[in-house]
Amino acid sequence: MTRLMLLGATGLVGQSALQRALADERVTQVVAPTRRALPAQPKLLNPVLDFAELPEDAPWWSVDAVVCALGTTIKVAGSQAAFYRVDHDLPLQVARLALRQGARAYALNSALGASADSRVFYSRTKGELERDLRSLGYASLTFVRPGLIGGDRQESRPAERLAIAVTRGLEPLLPRRYRVVPASQIAAHLLAAAVAAKPGVHVLESERLLDPVPVR
């Protein structure tokens, strides 16, 4: 049985991961820290906090596994520096705090093309996070790297919506790696990896996220 921390529970992938985790009998409790309170649900522990000042001694850091579905855009964050704090620094800080309290598995929603050597700021940020997470020493570490993510977002992303529409129209002609991946599929793979806690470092590229989630 697994006590799971979910970072990014209010986002597109995070909402799906939260629903799945709460319905999964293998998960005894979901710890989902957020800035605004979530609706109360059985098995849900929802610390409401300021992510700029994480309480390092909070008892709820004691979990078995972490799923990180946190992410923003430069437009929403306001600058590259603010984006980096959300998409790199915060997931890494949470990883350190949970590991210190005994977490053994960490599953990250990263991105297609993530590389610390990339010239693209977004891809480089994701790649640097993957690199830095590897250095922490988690027994089980999984990176899922979706391309375009399908689903109904609360925030407006017109360029992304257009790209998804064009990609769906061309889907029969595109390699699987460049097809739209439903948020529910990403969430399912993240949860499966965190609960299974398979030893080692595992990378699931976008095309693999289209496959059925392995049976328990």
What is the C-alpha separation between 4 and 64, in angstroms, rounded? 6
What is the C-alpha separation between 32 and 130, in angstroms, rounded? 22
What is the C-alpha separation between 96 and 1, in angstroms, rounded? 22
Catalytic residue among 84, 106, 126, 138: 126
Catalytic residue among 43, 122, 178, 198: 122
Q: Position of tokens 């008892």?
A: 59
At 201, which amino acid appears?
A: V
Please confirm, yes or no, whether 126 is among the known catalytic residues: yes
Q: Which residues contact 68 (CB under 8 A, 6 or more apart)?
A: 7, 8, 91, 94, 95, 106, 107, 108, 109
Q: Position of tokens 């590229």?
A: 205
* Structure tokens given for 13: 């992938």
Please confirm, yes or no, whether 198 is among the known catalytic residues: no
* Structure tokens given for 216: 């328990």
**Active-site residue list:** 122, 126
